[in-house]
A and B are shown apart, each in its own frame.
Chain A
């Protein structure tokens, strides 16, 4: 089992409030991603759950009992760190076995569990090496191996892929997702990369300045962002925001349209503009368009777009894909 409930969790360092008040319920077996810009408190929240930081107030309920005052080891959680945090003076085998040894398990059992974890993670040939003799991806797998042998109630990942290069990151992302499927364990994953969040999560928790802005499935956040912040953070390229007269016409302070939700035409449309820049990605072309009163807008065109910089273009937002926000930046849901 691995349910985790945060109840009015607060964290202050001296006079500085990092987490004003967090409430969250994580179900058993769920893959939850904490996402937000740097300094939003996502890592702090994870460390509070892990027990590496003490809560200032509130409860952290793991499997029904309050663990807020328990030391990390007593919470039954495993953590994978950004820097891997392997023990440099121990072999891969001993790195993976360390937690089991600390728990005082019999040697035969430890050996069997280490061998099994090594097999799952393709580390069998490397068990006698030291961490410094491994590549970045292998080190990351050792860190994961160290986490899985203890059969924790939940796994905590603190930006585990940010030290890897782009190609490896995609591979490891898939490996972690497969691991989640085969283990069926609760996982909490911290990242600042919204692509990781979108692709991996069952549910995403968006944090901003220590507050939980919105919790929902990737597509819920994509389709129905609660605030300007979530709308701007989820989705790549970023949602276009338009204010003033054009927004007022829609009865809002600000409206938002995603680059992929606009129709292009070289003859007519709602907003007239000039292409300033074209980014060719092969499958897509992202056009940066100077659209007069609407400002600089990003638009996605499928495939190779034939018009280049300087060409006139008309943009029309898709019906029902216009997000409206009030003067506090909150989403206005009824009637669009």
Chain B
């Protein structure tokens, strides 16, 4: 088969692949012309050199099928899936850390600092009785309610963190033992760290800003809960950006 005929067949089989197919066809032509030139330089006739070049290149069906597989429209889904998995795990772990921070705040500054109610919030006598039954040493209905809410803040956030650790653990395991470890599944560098860092930064600025406003206006409702979330989110954002910058300088490990 001549080079031109081979390129015609390859062109037919790459129909519908757009720019990727056009690029592949240009590369194939350059390759086959170069191989033909080499063949003629070695003393082959042009016909023989073209036939040898075409034979060495492989059947157009197989080449086109492989190119189609690489450029199929859903190729981005795999790294997007693993990226979402990784980002979800890291986000949940950050929430868990904010739960631990809320625990520390509560122990240092008291449950009211973390989960105290705003001015004017009251409870029914029955509800107060429930809170005081749970926390008889809280020093009153408001204190008992704050202690209960503090426990909920810490508990739910830490549970989210545990779920995040499970997600990250299974991700690591899946990367070692399944095809998720292959390059095709790996999110390109920065595609997890940067968006996640931006998300953390926005959340951190929001929660910290709310906390500062509360301090300015003397509103202590859920102040510690907001502050712990803000501080941890800002720290997580810094870690994301620093980690990404470090990987750019010293590429090693995962690409995300």
| A complexed with B | no
Q: Residues on B close to A: CB < 8 A?
A: none
